Structure 1
Amino acid sequence: MSSITPITADDRPAWEALWQAYLTFYEAEVPADVTESTFQRIVADEHLHGAFARDAEGRPIGLVHWLTHPGTWTSKVVCYLEDLYVDPDARGEGAGTALIEHVRDWARLFGATSVYWHTKEDNATARSLYDKVATSTGFVHYEIEL
């Protein structure tokens, strides 16, 4: 079972390694200044939050980032789980589930009405976990870059 800990300023090298692996998985590139800003906002833990799953030796093996925002279908806030990644060598051991449960529990205490996220349609490995811990809404994601 993984332990879950907040991401701190001292965690920069471990966070960066997992963050870059996550971006590589999604074939994405994020400019260095955005990566720096993202890390600083996670460490500030005000609007953007982050946590690690750690193995038995305390090494970070997965990360999760989330935020809340007002909803239009509720008078409360909702929680968006924006990024979730577990090192491929550590998958299948509960880290992903533990990270999702951590965000769910945090969101419940914060007063959110739900936690939601997106994934690629062909991300079968992740979707097999998501189908166990959440309900697919059937929505398709669209985006306009500005």
Structure 2
Amino acid sequence: MADVDTGSMKIEVRPVTADDYEDWLRLFRDYIAFYEEEVPDDIIAAAWQRLLAREDNMIALIATGNDRAFGIANLVFHRSTWARDWYCYLEDLFVAPEARGKGIGRALIEAVYAEADRRGASRTYWATQAKNATARTLYDRLGVLTEFVQYRR
């Protein structure tokens, strides 16, 4: 899907396969811990099954190099009341701490954009915490910060 040369290794970004489960799980759990959240094991297992099967318009990408996984991106494609075509929600993006600053986050986002384009999505969007300054530096270069504030129930 996409390759990036970090100088010390070549990183490949591609859709996950069943063989990626342990790596995806490690990275996804680290992502959840980064945001100081908890997700029950049965929900994580269900998410993996949907992502692997590409059910409900969900897909997972993984960034690997030197027989190791360094990052993941979990996407949800959905319809919109504001467009005729699809939107791509980048629900989860995580790069392992030891691999940050090497272009892996950029490669994952560019692969997300490529998948969104391939599927004809007119918008790709994501959210992060305001305090996530390191990631936001990258996001400011690859996306447009909106004025919207998110609410939840």
Shorter chain as normaliser: what TM range? Answer: over 0.9
Alignment deviations for residues 39-84 of structure 1 (CA, whole Å, 9 cap, x no partner): 11111023210011112x1311000000111112211111100000
Q: Distance in 2 between matches of 1:79 and 1:39?
A: 18
TM-score w.r.t. length of structure 1: 0.95
What residue number does 1:64 align with? Answer: 73
Richer in strand (by share): 2
Unaligned runs of 5+ in 1: none
Q: Distance in 2 between matches of 1:7 and 1:109?
A: 17
- Measured after TM superposition, the shift of residue 110 of structure 1 is 0.3
Q: 1:80 aligns with which of 73, 76, 89?
A: 89
Alignment deviations for residues 3-39 of structure 1 (CA, whole Å, 9 cap, x no partner): 1021111111111110110010000111111010001
Runs of 4+ in 1 over 6 A off after TM superposition: none
Equivalent residues in 2 for 1:113-128 (5 A)? 113-128=122-137
Amino acid of the structure 2 residue aligned with 1:9: A
What residue number does 2:117 align with? Answer: 108
What residue number does 1:41 align with? Answer: 50
Amino acid of the structure 1 residue aligned with 2:26: A
Q: Percent identity?
A: 43
Q: Distance in 2 between matches of 1:41 and 1:11?
A: 14
Structure 2 residue 61 is matched with structure 1 residue 51: yes
What residue number does 1:134 align with? Answer: 143
- Between the two proteins, the alignment pairs up a number of residues equal to 143
State the SS of the aligned residue for 1:29. coil
Q: Distance in 1 between matches of 2:131 and 2:79?
A: 30
CA RMSD of aligned residues (A): 0.9
